[in-house]
Structure 1
Amino acid sequence: MHLAPPSIALVARSARSLVECARQSGYAAIALDVFGDLDTRAAAIEHVAIGDGGLRIAPQRLLAALGGLRAQGDVMGWVAGSGFEAQLELLEAAAGVLPLIGNTPATVARVRTPGNFLALLARLDIAHPPSRLSAPADPRGWLSKDAHACGGWHVRRLEAANRGPARPGRGAYFQRELPGAPMSALFLADGEAARVVGVARQIVRPLGRRPFVFRGGVGPVAVAEEVAAQLAHIAGRLTTALALRGLNGIDFIVDADGTVQLLELNPRPTAAINLFHDAFEVGLLRAHVLACEGRLSPLRARCAPAVRGYETVFARAAGQVSAALVRALLDSGWCADVPTAGTRHARAGPVCTVFAHGPSVVEVEARLVERRCAVLNALASGGGLAEKEERQHDEQ
């Protein structure tokens, strides 16, 4: 007798990567997201639009959708991706409608409350850049950040003429800028113990007046044994203190002394799942579910994959995506998050995501540049994709 695969709901601004992980783990994926990209819809057995007309999740749409899934009676629960950083009350309300598979809303709120989280880091003796809740008297070398945002759009350098946001929100804090390459580590937690899945180099570059926009990542990258040991220790301490469960991510840099400096903890599956979706024999989303159930230790890892990379392509100018470009993106074999034809985008708005793989980080990064430029040139010209387009016109 053939049994239907269990159904699971994936909720995020863009749910494509979660949906693909769910399918690879043997689940029937139900996508609830804002963008409704073509490949997301193709990979899911059902898609529900939950956007508010912009980039935020509309509370009533989400709660109604989860209520409908609960009424079906055959959906095991839902996994939260990006989009809830500034909507913590919605996360709590949604968790009361259908079981949330991941960290509890209370845990997420602790992490997203700067005063509480910074005090926790101090108590656990976890190295991190000097951080404070009020603007420093001398703004030089300091950053303004927001724990209720993601993607680096909120990170700004303080200047004499700009001491921070005029009306800082509940997530506002200030952090000393330290030199070093931005990196991330994806880890699994079962409430008591943690296991690092992989380490990636982040792609962070300016976009307009925003100096630290997150574009993507490349990994796995090798790190020194001392760094790997520190990451395992940090993940373990945070897991025990916060009772973390499932997939989580930490952003960090390694300073000149070889010390891991923690920048942020993301208490949810992060974009790094694009790189490590096949890290476990059972599939990454099933590993997430099992870890949430306290079954972390039996998980068997696969051999480290070849180096992979992904990068979001942001438009140079406002416009819309043509049908010809949509066909080219779908046929490329290296594009994801493909919008429907006619979709309008703002200047600096996301268009799609490009992927690459290869034997080294350097080669993967080079291919990502070529593919980003190809998409941008095709977007501007209305023509097809050509990976070897000249790069001198790339403004990003």
Structure 2
Amino acid sequence: MRTLLVGLSTRAMAESAHRGSYDVVSVDYFGDYDQKLLVPNYSLLRDLGTNFQVSLLGEIAFQIDFDALAYTSNLENYPEIVEKLAAKGAILGNSPSVLREIRDWDRLSFFLRAEGFKVPRTLEEPPGSSGRWVKKPLHSGGGHKISFYLHGEEVAENFVVQEYLEGIPSSASFVADGRRAVVISLTEQLIGRAEFGISPFRYCGNILPLRIAGKDEAYLREILEQVQQMVDRITFHFGLKGVNGLDFILRDGEIYALEINPRYSASMELIEMAYGINIFDLHVRACQGELPSFSLEERFPASLFFGKAILFAEKDITVGDTRGWVARGIRDVPFPGDKIKRGQPICTLLATARGREECLSKLVAQAQELKRVLVSLQKAEFQYLAPILSI
């Protein structure tokens, strides 16, 4: 059975599928060097030279022969494209009808409040002058186009104003069979970290497991119990299948749901590193009704921490010879000589350490070293071109 992987970036899911000996072909935007080493890949950027257009992504994918379909970000916001692709092969994941419901924030937040769970207050009209608020698109991903709301400004169509909550940005991954769910990770999200060249509110990585300074194992068990109860109710009500993600704010020992990502999520490759399980295999089996006998609670307390960070370009750059990056543990690797524009991702960094702070420090150190190398390359290129340009 050949499975089509499709999304903005399919490298991590493709790597998992390849490791699990699945026959896959991928269609995404970036077409990274390390992905093309593993599986057949068609890239909007590399093979067609176009900007990201989800409609074009769907058109290219539709031309490929496949038996089953697995999607990642941001296809969950385009159920009509998933529906079109589903005419050619079985969906491994959530159906278009499930996507329409679970990505409807009004519907999801109403359900969660009715079940006694907490969500941030969300308004369609500008709020009064009290409190701190953010404005965000109704459908987005990775923190794109989220900013603080300035009192008095207009709220564009398809945007909402949401209560800003101080707390720890967090995520949970879970696997579901349409009725039941098993939580397989709790992570801290890295959001808007300048060390990785990104602006406020933008997602740039995770650290697994979630660890709260000054809190013991019992505290983490309480958080896990809250998460498990929430995803149990969501799964049963909406009929979620396969691997999914929950983004939430952890505040004063309580979780505030932000969104459900009803597909493979960026933090899941850390689960493979930490727990030695194959996420793509879990996803396929769950879609067939088989859940894993996995207990996250039994993994407490953690002896090792695993981190990933996406490094973004702070200015337009040209990378050098990147062929050795994969062996250094770098992922989402650009091709040698690629030109990367300011604000675009350069690559993904991975780290393992015995503590949360050490893990984050390793990621930051890798980012600083890579930026130093890239700056040196830009200087060398300028020095080479300067005499030519002066002729």
Q: Using structure 2 for the length normalisation, give the TM-score.
A: 0.85
For residues 256-281 of structure 1, the C-alpha deviation after alignment (integer angstroms, 9 at most, x for no partner) is 2x111111111111101121126777
CA contact (8 A) 2:168 2:251 kept: no
From 119, 131, 141, the equivalent of 2:122 is 131
Q: Which has the higher helix share?
A: 2
Task: Give the structure 1 partner of residue 43 of structure 2.
Answer: 49
**1:203 and 1:292, CA in 2 relative to 1: closer, same or farther beyond 3 A?**
same
- SS, match of residue 94 in structure 1: helix
Farther off after superposition, 234-243 or 201-210:
201-210
The 5 Å alignment of 1:84-99 reads 84-99=75-90
CA contact (8 A) 2:6 2:61 kept: no
**What is the CA–CA distance in structure 1 between the aligned matches of 2:221 and 2:113, rounded to whole Å?**
24
In the TM superposition, residue 132 of structure 1 has moved relative to its aligned partner by: 2.2
Task: Give the structure 1 partner of residue 386 of structure 2.
Answer: none
Task: Give the structure 2 partner of residue 259 of structure 1.
Answer: 254
Task: Give the structure 2 partner of residue 394 of structure 1.
Answer: none
In the TM superposition, residue 11 of structure 1 has moved relative to its aligned partner by: 1.2
The 5 Å alignment of 1:3-82 reads 6-44=1-39, 46-50=40-44, 53=49, 56-60=52-56, 62-70=58-66, 75=67, 77-82=68-73
The 5 Å alignment of 1:368-379 reads 368-379=363-374
Unaligned ranges ≥5, structure 2: 212-218, 380-391
The 5 Å alignment of 1:242-391 reads 242-256=238-252, 258-277=253-272, 283-296=278-291, 306-323=304-321, 326-331=322-327, 333-382=328-377
The 5 Å alignment of 1:217-236 reads 217-222=206-211, 224-236=220-232
**What is the CA–CA distance in structure 2 between the aligned matches of 1:348 and 1:297, rounded to whole Å?**
39
Letter in 2 for 1:109: R
For residues 116-160 of structure 1, the C-alpha deviation after alignment (integer angstroms, 9 at most, x for no partner) is 222222222221111222221337401112231101122211012
**1:54 and 1:361, CA in 2 relative to 1: closer, same or farther beyond 3 A?**
farther
- SS, match of residue 382 in structure 1: helix
Letter in 1 for 2:246: I
For residues 50-78 of structure 1, the C-alpha deviation after alignment (integer angstroms, 9 at most, x for no partner) is 457555245345344344313xxxx4x12
For residues 339-378 of structure 1, the C-alpha deviation after alignment (integer angstroms, 9 at most, x for no partner) is 1123222212111111111111111100000001111121
**1:9 and 1:209, CA in 2 relative to 1: closer, same or farther beyond 3 A?**
closer
In the TM superposition, residue 243 of structure 1 has moved relative to its aligned partner by: 0.3
> How many residues end up aligned between the 2 structures?
365
**1:98 and 1:280, CA in 2 relative to 1: closer, same or farther beyond 3 A?**
farther
Farther off after superposition, 303-312 or 172-181:
303-312
Letter in 1 for 2:362: R
**What is the CA–CA distance in structure 2 between the aligned matches of 1:345 and 1:33, rounded to whole Å?**
17
Q: Percent identical across equivalent pairs? A: 26
**What is the CA–CA distance in structure 1 between the aligned matches of 2:283 and 2:41, rounded to whole Å?**
22
In the TM superposition, residue 286 of structure 1 has moved relative to its aligned partner by: 1.0
**What is the CA–CA distance in structure 2 between the aligned matches of 1:27 and 1:108, rounded to whole Å?**
25
**1:313 and 1:210, CA in 2 relative to 1: closer, same or farther beyond 3 A?**
closer
**1:101 and 1:38, CA in 2 relative to 1: closer, same or farther beyond 3 A?**
same
Farther off after superposition, 228-237 or 56-65:
56-65
Farther off after superposition, 100-109 or 231-240:
100-109
**What is the CA–CA distance in structure 2 between the aligned matches of 1:129 and 1:250, rounded to whole Å?**
14
Determine if the alignment matches structure 1 residue 202 to structure 2 residue 189: yes
For residues 34-64 of structure 1, the C-alpha deviation after alignment (integer angstroms, 9 at most, x for no partner) is 11111011121x1122457555245345344
**1:58 and 1:265, CA in 2 relative to 1: closer, same or farther beyond 3 A?**
closer
Task: Give the structure 2 partner of residue 241 of structure 1.
Answer: 237
Unaligned ranges ≥5, structure 1: 1-5, 385-396
Q: Using structure 1 for the length normalisation, give the TM-score.
A: 0.84
**1:64 and 1:179, CA in 2 relative to 1: closer, same or farther beyond 3 A?**
closer
